[in-house]
Amino acid sequence: MSEIPYKIYLEESEMPTAWYNVRADMKNKPAPLINPGTHQPMGFEELRGVFCDELVRQELNNTDRYIEIPEEIRNFYKMYRPSPLVRAYCLEKALDTPAKIYYKFEGNNTSGSHKLNSAIAQAYYAKAQGLKGVTTETGAGQWGTALSMACAYLGLDCKVYMVKVSYEQKPFRREVMRTYGASVTPSPSDTTNVGRQILADFPGTTGSLGCAISEAVEAATSTEGYRYVLGSVLSQVLLHQSIVGLESKAAMDKYGIKPDLIIGCAGGGSNLGGLISPFMGEMLRGEQEYEFIAVEPASCPSLTRGKFVYDFCDTGNVCPMAKMYTLGSRFIPSPNHAGGLRYHGMSSILSQLYHDGYLKARSVEQTAVFDAATKFARVEGILPAPESSHAIRVAMDEALKCKETGEEKTILFGLTGTGYFDMVAYEQYNNGTMTDYIPTDEELEKSFAQIPEVDA
Amino acid sequence: MSEIPYKIYLEESEMPTAWYNVRADMKNKPAPLINPGTHQPMGFEELRGVFCDELVRQELNNTDRYIEIPEEIRNFYKMYRPSPLVRAYCLEKALDTPAKIYYKFEGNNTSGSHKLNSAIAQAYYAKAQGLKGVTTETGAGQWGTALSMACAYLGLDCKVYMVKVSYEQKPFRREVMRTYGASVTPSPSDTTNVGRQILADFPGTTGSLGCAISEAVEAATSTEGYRYVLGSVLSQVLLHQSIVGLESKAAMDKYGIKPDLIIGCAGGGSNLGGLISPFMGEMLRGEQEYEFIAVEPASCPSLTRGKFVYDFCDTGNVCPMAKMYTLGSRFIPSPNHAGGLRYHGMSSILSQLYHDGYLKARSVEQTAVFDAATKFARVEGILPAPESSHAIRVAMDEALKCKETGEEKTILFGLTGTGYFDMVAYEQYNNGTMTDYIPTDEELEKSFAQIPEVDA
């Protein structure tokens, strides 16, 4: 076995040509999406009004283990993939740990995160169907940026509803999207019924992700030739993001490395689900053992403190409902929460795997996350996104445990993106003014009380 | 010959182990630095008060063709190098050109540019000499960020004087530097004599690069255990940046590609000099023919409209003087100028090569540059820095010429960095409010009049 380089890059010829669908290997399949009015499972005909046809097929496909990646998407992937699998030699040295730490770095593209992997896929199928454009929402802006890039590449119109407070506080993200030709509307806006209603009910509101989703869905379903696309949570998104795990696994296999522990941050679950999928598949098929840890913010703890029930995915209750670990669709993290990972629910796939005991979860507080981010930046030279830094925090904690026990564990974590557009949060941390907040049981109970009863 | 992949990555084992010193192959050597008071050439003893010893040796070394890269620097390089050599298939297709376009992308590191290549070298030699820290200036912030990263890695103190207007308008750049542990002082400041003098003479001034250089030099020379470091212009910096050209050449040689035309943006010359060095060496030795184009902003046209004379490198006249193409040390580009490339002078090496006819120069206006940047971003998926986009503009112009003539030229250009911190300029462009400015002959004459007479 040759010496492990700092960065393992696959050759173009070694890149995956099919996505891996973990649902094919799950004994307990994720529960189906249901209609928010009738509570009946939604089939192809009902879903195709919201999503484009091929994506509905992928959303409903619980059986095919591999789904071929169309050539045009593979060519787009070649512009920024394969992403490097990095051996964190410098971090290991700084921690003085016997653990071997690897991370899959998805930040080396202009969207700054893994979101581009699904954005190009969703835009491609919309284009292939002859649609004119797509609509979506964005909070911090990573997903909106990724979708703008994909749409610019394919010549597809892109309408982004951006949570108003982010629109105003993150003008640079907004300008990147505009540079890629997207139209960006602060949400809530007066361009949709649901937006006008929210503005009337809550004058002066700065918006929320759930509200922006409702606007984007209304805009898509009320405009000829448009469909709605979403950057996380959905099973189709985890399918596309499996490219992250497949590349990681191929790179590790090439050097005969087997990870003991795989760690990812989890908001809606797109990164974690993508990273762990092929490894989880081996475990589900009984071929291999791994330990998986989902890391979420203590301020938005859907896995560690949420309920596993059907809930709304948006504020306006226009989206399909999903069975998932949820904090309630009206839950909004405390205003001191920095970065993403602020969604109230979790991917149905990951929720089911967690419920069935295949996946562990841990919540961390944000000052501890930024401690880890800053240490990591200084020794590994990459300024991580706050979201990604949740995984760094736990990877460092686990490596420090190995230092105590002497175990030479091999740890793999997902470094989903860069923090260039998160410097307001870093500034708070640098100035010592960053604070933590953990919701009380009472707050969560209040939020849980708004979850509807569903017999499904 | 195998098919050219989208991105060519060298293996770690193929990475250069020595920098290439183009001065060794120059018949007419660059003129020596001279003392601003006596106008006598400065030797080792005089320069070592400003720069650390090994860097002075490199600055004075006109003879050794290769200088070994110390192992610790090579290990640091492995964290973000080799950088990809990208075949711009998508750009070629969008331009419908028979030209083959390649670019060397230096933006995949947290400093966002090639500057890190010299920052780590300069910090390393300072550390090796047992120094406590280094001082420098930064304008847009790329160099300051790179130096902060290098110093954090080596445990060296880093004091950055940041042009006040940038300090206030680019708080995010400032925070990245602070995250890497640097102290950042807006310049002019009351921490130096030269700063206090400038504040007294020009109350309310927003500072300039030349002024920040003076403050950083004073801070270094008046503090025990500190030296001054500079991110461009100096011959030592071009030496370190030769890694860019060496990797490019190795990657092209691997696939049997020979560029006809090599294009780089030029401010102080660090990127262009580094990119072209090994190719220029072949031409100087009569082994190969290439065409080289330096691209500069029409608003700061040192090569295309400057004088080739000795001039001050800073406002306070405390730095060594250099013989170079210069607009005069008091020249400041029009306030509508976006991005870097705003230095009044040009590397002595490049100035000499230009004077001797080995290098061409072209100036471009910034709206045309942002036209090219936006088109490039949409088809190649990378949001380029304004500086780098100067090279993109000319590469696109040359590829379009090939479309007319049918020539299948192979074009290589340097994509020095990313534009994540330049969204204010992109916003102006997106809003249609960006303007151009070309200094008049009268303005330049006024600036030339301040260049001192030197008999050397």
Q: How far apart are CA A367 and CA A378, in angstroms?
A: 17
- Which tokens go with B174? 């400032």
Tens-digit pLDDT profile for residues B57-84: 999 999 999 999 999 999 999 999 999 9
Distances (CA, A) of B253 to B77, B248, B279: 21, 9, 12
Q: How far apart are CA A337 and CA A351, in angstroms?
A: 23
Number of other residues whose CB lies within 10 A of the CB of residue A128 = 14
DSSP designation for A182: -
Determine the pLDDT at residue A2. 57
Determine the pLDDT at residue B104. 98
| pLDDT, mean over chain B | 95
Q: Most distant CA pair in chain B: distance in Å?
A: 66
Poorest-confidence range of A225-229, B4-8, B180-184, B337-341?
B337-341
Phi, psi of A323 (to 5 degrees): -85, 120
Q: What CATH topology corresponds to B22-68+115-228?
A: Rossmann fold (3.40.50)
Mean pLDDT of B381-386: 96
Residues of B in contact with A117 (CB under 8 A): none
CB contact under 8 A, B381 and A80: yes
Residue A101's H or E segment, with its range, is strand A100-105
Which residues lie closer than 8 Å to A446 by C-beta, 6 or more apart?
Answer: none
pLDDT at B378 over 60: yes
Distances (CA, A) of A289 to A98, A242, A266, B124: 21, 19, 21, 44
- Which tokens go with A58? 């992928």
Residue in chain B closest to A94 (alpha carbons) equals B153
**Residue B93: exposed, middle, or buried by beta-carbon count in 10 A (0-12, 13-18, 19+)?**
exposed
Burial profile B133-156: b = 16 or more Cβ within 10 angstroms, e = fewer: bbbbbbbbbbbbbbbbbbbbbbeb
- A383, A389, A434: which to substitute to probe chain B, counting the most B Cβ within 10 Å? A383
Tens-digit pLDDT profile for residues B385-394: 999 999 999 9
Can you list the residues of chain A whose pLDDT is less than 50?
A: 1
Query: Do residues A104 and A244 make contact, with C-beta atoms less than 8 angstroms apart?
Result: yes
The pTM assigned to this predicted structure is 0.95
pLDDT at B2 over 60: no
Determine the pLDDT at residue B204. 87
CA B247 to chain centre: 17
| pLDDT, mean over chain A | 95
Determine the pLDDT at residue A1. 42
pLDDT at B1 over 60: no
Q: Most distant CA pair in chain A: distance in Å?
A: 66
Pairing of the two strands B7-8 and B307-311: unpaired
Query: Do residues A358 and A342 make contact, with C-beta atoms less than 8 angstroms apart?
Result: no
Query: Which candidate, B142, B235, B451, places its Cα nearest to that of B325?
Result: B451
**Residue A200: exposed, middle, or buried by beta-carbon count in 10 A (0-12, 13-18, 19+)?**
exposed
Enter the ipTM: 0.93
Q: How far apart are CA B422 and CA A176, in angstroms?
A: 10
Strand intervals (E) in A196-243 = 226-228
Query: Which candidate, B297, B240, B306, places its Cα nearest to that of B443?
Result: B306
Determine the pLDDT at residue A456. 60
CB contact under 8 A, B423 and A9: no
Distances (CA, A) of A426 to A384, B96, B177: 10, 44, 11
Helices B53-60 and B235-254, packing angle to 10 deg: 70
Q: How far apart are CA A147 and CA A117, in angstroms?
A: 10
Confidence of residue B333 (pLDDT cuts 50, 70, 90): confident
Confidence of residue B337 (pLDDT cuts 50, 70, 90): confident
Which residues lie closer than 8 Å to A405 by C-beta, 6 or more apart?
Answer: none
Q: How far apart are CA A339 and CA A112, in angstroms?
A: 13
Determine the pLDDT at residue B206. 85
CA A229 to chain centre: 14
DSSP designation for B5: P
- Look at the block and give the residue holding tokens 């469909």: A227
Strand intervals (E) in B74-206 = 85-87, 100-105, 133-138, 157-163, 183-187
Query: Which candidate, A55, A56, A50, A85, places its Cα nearest to that of A70?
Result: A55
**Residue A253: exposed, middle, or buried by beta-carbon count in 10 A (0-12, 13-18, 19+)?**
exposed
Residues of A in contact with B377 (CB under 8 A): 110, 152, 179-180
Q: How far apart are CA B397 and CA B91, in angstroms?
A: 12
To the nearest whole angstrom, how far is the Cα of A354 from the nearest Cα of chain B? 35
Bridge partners of residue B45, in order along the sequence:
none
To the nearest whole angstrom, how far is the Cα of B104 from the nearest Cα of chain A? 13
Which residues lie closer than 8 Å to A74 by C-beta, 6 or more apart?
Answer: A15, A17
Determine the pLDDT at residue A330. 87
Residues of B in contact with A152 (CB under 8 A): 377-379
Query: Do residues B10 and B82 make contact, with C-beta atoms less than 8 angstroms apart?
Result: yes
Determine the pLDDT at residue A250. 98
- A15, A369, A420, A421: which to substitute to probe chain B, counting the most B Cβ within 10 Å? A420
CB contact under 8 A, B381 and A149: yes
pLDDT at B381 over 60: yes
- Which tokens go with B348? 């002595």
Residues of B in contact with A381 (CB under 8 A): 76, 79-80, 109-110, 149, 153
Q: What CATH topology corresponds to A7-14+81-112+242-443?
A: Rossmann fold (3.40.50)
CB contact under 8 A, B430 and A153: no
Query: Do residues A310 and A287 make contact, with C-beta atoms less than 8 angstroms apart?
Result: no
Out of B90, B181, B380, whose CB is closest to A378? Answer: B181
Phi, psi of B209 (to 5 degrees): -65, -45
- Which tokens go with A257? 């490395």
SS3 state at A342: coil
Residues of chain A with CATH 3.40.50.1100: 7-14+81-112+242-443, 22-68+115-228
- Look at the block and give the residue holding tokens 């500069």: B296
Query: Do residues B380 and B87 make contact, with C-beta atoms less than 8 angstroms apart?
Result: no
Determine the pLDDT at residue A340. 84
CB pairs under 8 A between A and B: 113
